[in-house]
Amino acid sequence: MDVASKTVDSIKQQGSLDNKALEIQLEAAEMAVSNETIRWLVGKELKITTHGDVYGRKWDVEKYESVMYTELEREYHKNLIYLAIKQGSTSVRDVSAKTGLELLGVSYLLADLERTNRVEFTGMTNSIPVFAAL
């Protein structure tokens, strides 16, 4: 109970959340937890960690949650990139600046977003690749 009281007090001291300033992050997080793969991973955790996967192998809870959190973070970052492009950031550098993600990570995840038809390469502007959200 002490932990819950401390957490509630800490949140009260921090004050109201600035929804407008965190709009893109909140939307990306909501999209990530609504993702079918993430929902499947969460739904299967108990079965896989207690009874085993389709091959009968029981997963260690920490290992399973590590896989789940890695996938959740990846999905969150992809959604951040998608939303940044949707809001007008068209180059890798623009997306990186808007999201705070590293350039290499943005480039890597952009390729994945292209494969899944969420963004498309629209051409070059001053030798810089330009993308658009679909």
Which residue type is seen at 71?
Answer: E
Predicted pLDDT of residue 8: 82
**What is the band of 33 on the pLDDT scale with cuts at 50, 70, 90?**
very high
- Record the tokens describing residue 29, joined without a space: 């997080």
Predicted pLDDT of residue 64: 94
pLDDT tens digits for range 76-124: 999 999 999 999 999 999 999 999 999 999 999 999 999 999 999 999 9
What does the DSSP 8-state code read for residue 57?
Answer: P
**Lowest mean pLDDT segment, chosen from 16-30, 44-58, 120-134:** 16-30
**Alpha carbon separation from 86 to 7, 50, 73, 118, 133 (Å, rounded):** 35, 42, 20, 10, 5
Residue 9 has pLDDT above 70, yes or no: yes
d(CA 26, CA 60): 31
Mean pLDDT for the chain overall:
92
d(CA 71, CA 69): 5
Topology at the third CATH level for domain 21-133:
Arc Repressor Mutant, subunit A (1.10.10)
Residues 131 and 110 sit within 8 Å (Cβ to Cβ): yes
Residues 100 and 77 sit within 8 Å (Cβ to Cβ): no
28, with CB counted inside 10 A (0-12, 13-18, 19+), is buried
Residue ranges per structural domain of the chain: 21-133
